[in-house]
Structure 1
Amino acid sequence: MATSDPRTEIRDFLRSRRARIAPERAGLPAYGGNRRVAGLRREEVALLAGVSVDYYVRMERGRLSGASDGVLDALASALRLDEAERAYLFHLARRSGPPGGPRSRRPPVPVRPALQRVLDAFPDAPAWICDGRYDVLATNHLARALYSPLLADSPVPAAPRRPANTARFVYLAPAEAAAFFVDHDRIARDMAAKLRMEAGRNPYDEELSALVGELSTGSALFRRWWASQDVRLHRSGRKRVRHPVAGRLDLDVESMELPADPGLLLNVYTAPAGTPTADGLALLASWASGRERPTTGTRAPG
């Protein structure tokens, strides 16, 4: 589960990060040919971070509370953490402490009417809003058309009024998701990493914990990537899909946090003019205009 015990999360994360670093990569001599641990030993991490071995052992056992930013930065450097991993380490440190913190229910956040108008102001680009759990909270007409395989009644069982959820589609409807997403394997890996980052931010979110439990029970692919301890930030990039009407679309994605609505992300998909994908979006827009316009994306199952 994502929110079982922050100390367990800290332990597993730090062990996984030091296990991937060979001593030679860290500039340390590797004495002997038979090391009993993969990657760095605890004392080697302590040396690189400039802390005592006892102090590092306490940190790896989950006792990060009270660690200064300087110590955390030194630990991040010793373990060669990237930007997302460093942010995750700081999230874990801020949330660390005795187990059994207060649970909280975080139901889907209502999307302000002004934000729906922002989405609708993109007539030529699919645009949608999600939260950190990948609940689809609002869409414009092109995003509804683009994600029609996800938003339609699907083989993924859902409560009647539960929002569509991209993670459920990817992991619990793998055949449909693989047919839709060209890079399904990469998306599956990245989505688990982003959900773990969200778990670091909100370790006592009951809805997130329930989602991780549901995905863990129903998907071996999710269990595989969740166990990797990898984390990722939401970033701009490329999304390649096979749409049943518009065909292959290679879309540029901009993913932006909404400062006035903490926890919400605005995602906008575009394509350079004159490309096959731009022509595909025009076809998608024509197809979408002929469909009945549904209500805001909070109703879609999935």
Structure 2
Amino acid sequence: MDIRSDIREFLTTRRARLTPADVGLPDFGGRRRVAGLRREEVALLAGMSVEYYVRLERGNASGVSDAVLDGIARALRLDAAERNHLHDLVRAADDGGVRRSRRSRARTQTIRPGMQQLIEAMHGVPAVVQNGRLDVVAINRLGRALFSEMLESPEQPPNFARYLFLDERARRFYRRWDDSAEQVVALLRSEAGRAPRDRELSDLVGELATRSDAFRTLWASHDVREHRTGAKAITHPLVGDIDLSFEALDVSDERGLQLIAFTAAPGSASSDALGLIASWVATSAEPVDGSARAGATDR
């Protein structure tokens, strides 16, 4: 991935969404050649020279301090995910390719037996452990029943982004497909900032950009997001519509793994539907081996 280009395009797209009125600057009218704020306006708000800001926006991030980046983040009204992404991009550019991110090293990725035991003990809760590329690293039995279509993919390990953009069934499964697509791309953008030299991630992005117009359009927006909590509206092939909320917990900062647990509101139709799936799982002969289809990936 081209870090200098990513810095330029990220800052340009953040400028484009703001007007002088949004940030308390006077607008003297006349024709503006660019959408949103001008570079000199961002520099003024951030408390730096125009030349310095222009240099950074062109991708020259050598020696840029955290204080300078925080000033730009305030000027551009960046949220926490965007602020972190800007810091990640600048750190990657400042490395100059000399140091490799720990996340970029190829290795077999697994979870501890105790973690697998934990998610399998969550009998009424679908649980997934995923990495930053959205590969499924581990999943419990109820999770496998919930996301059965994705797990059928011939491409291994199963991957939420690949399923959403390349499997036509995903548009039926995700009732708010557009929202899910925006979220998935924003998560991959965030991971690309944290691990710009992750070959597997670059290959995934290249595959999706080549095969999906929708992905290519969203990727160009440079939106980023953190994965902590949210909602999913799905249509399961066996029980129909289910509305779920999820919570994501970091398993290990070093390895970038997250445990994601899905729940339905107590007493709701979605809770009843999830209970039906759980009853089917309880009487199924399916093995409970956490490595079935998803338990180890190369990264």
* TM-score normalised per structure 1: 0.91
Report 1:179-218 matches (<5 A): 179-218=172-211
- Classify the secondary structure of the residue corresponding to 1:47: helix
CA distance in 1, matches of 2:48, 2:209: 37
Instruction: State the match for 1:254 in structure 2.
Output: 247
CA gap 1:94/1:260 in 2 versus in 1, 3 angstroms: closer
CA distance in 2, matches of 1:135, 1:70: 35
Instruction: State the match for 1:11 in structure 2.
Output: 8
CA distance in 2, matches of 1:291, 1:269: 21
**Could you tell which deviates more after superposition, 221-230 or 237-246?**
237-246
- Classify the secondary structure of the residue corresponding to 1:97: helix
Instruction: State the match for 1:53 in structure 2.
Output: 50
CA gap 1:168/1:191 in 2 versus in 1, 3 angstroms: same
CA distance in 2, matches of 1:264, 1:20: 32
Instruction: State the match for 2:140 in structure 1.
Output: 140
Instruction: State the match for 1:219 in structure 2.
Output: 212
CA distance in 2, matches of 1:107, 1:293: 29
**Residue among 18, 23, 42 paired with 1:26:** 23
CA gap 1:128/1:297 in 2 versus in 1, 3 angstroms: farther
Instruction: State the match for 2:285 in structure 1.
Output: 292
**Cα displacement string for residues 230-265 of structure 1 (whole angstroms, at most 9, x for unaligned residues):** 000012111111111122111110111113763100
Aligned length: 291
Instruction: State the match for 1:235 in structure 2.
Output: 228
Determine whether 1:64 maps to 2:96.
no
The answer to whether the Cα contact below 8 Å between 1:105 and 1:207 also exists between their aligned partners in 2 is no
CA distance in 2, matches of 1:16, 1:88: 13
Provide structure 2 residue ranges, at least 5 long, that are not aligned to the other structure.
none
CA distance in 2, matches of 1:41, 1:260: 37
Instruction: State the match for 1:163 in structure 2.
Output: 157
**Could you tell which deviates more after superposition, 253-262 or 57-66?**
253-262
Corresponding letter in the other structure for 2:65: S
**Cα displacement string for residues 166-213 of structure 1 (whole angstroms, at most 9, x for unaligned residues):** 10000111x200110111110001100100000000000000000000
Instruction: State the match for 2:88 in structure 1.
Output: 91
Corresponding letter in the other structure for 2:241: R
* TM-score normalised per structure 2: 0.92
The answer to whether the Cα contact below 8 Å between 1:136 and 1:297 also exists between their aligned partners in 2 is no
The answer to whether the Cα contact below 8 Å between 1:108 and 1:135 also exists between their aligned partners in 2 is no
CA gap 1:252/1:108 in 2 versus in 1, 3 angstroms: farther
**Cα displacement string for residues 61-105 of structure 1 (whole angstroms, at most 9, x for unaligned residues):** 112232222111110010111111001011112111375556744
Quote the sequence identity (%). Answer: 50
- Classify the secondary structure of the residue corresponding to 1:273: coil
The answer to whether the Cα contact below 8 Å between 2:151 and 2:293 also exists between their aligned partners in 1 is no
CA distance in 1, matches of 2:95, 2:260: 37
CA gap 1:99/1:21 in 2 versus in 1, 3 angstroms: same
CA distance in 2, matches of 1:241, 1:200: 29
CA distance in 2, matches of 1:47, 1:135: 42
The answer to whether the Cα contact below 8 Å between 2:138 and 2:294 also exists between their aligned partners in 1 is no
CA gap 1:286/1:261 in 2 versus in 1, 3 angstroms: farther
Instruction: State the match for 1:117 in structure 2.
Output: 117
Instruction: State the match for 2:259 in structure 1.
Output: 266
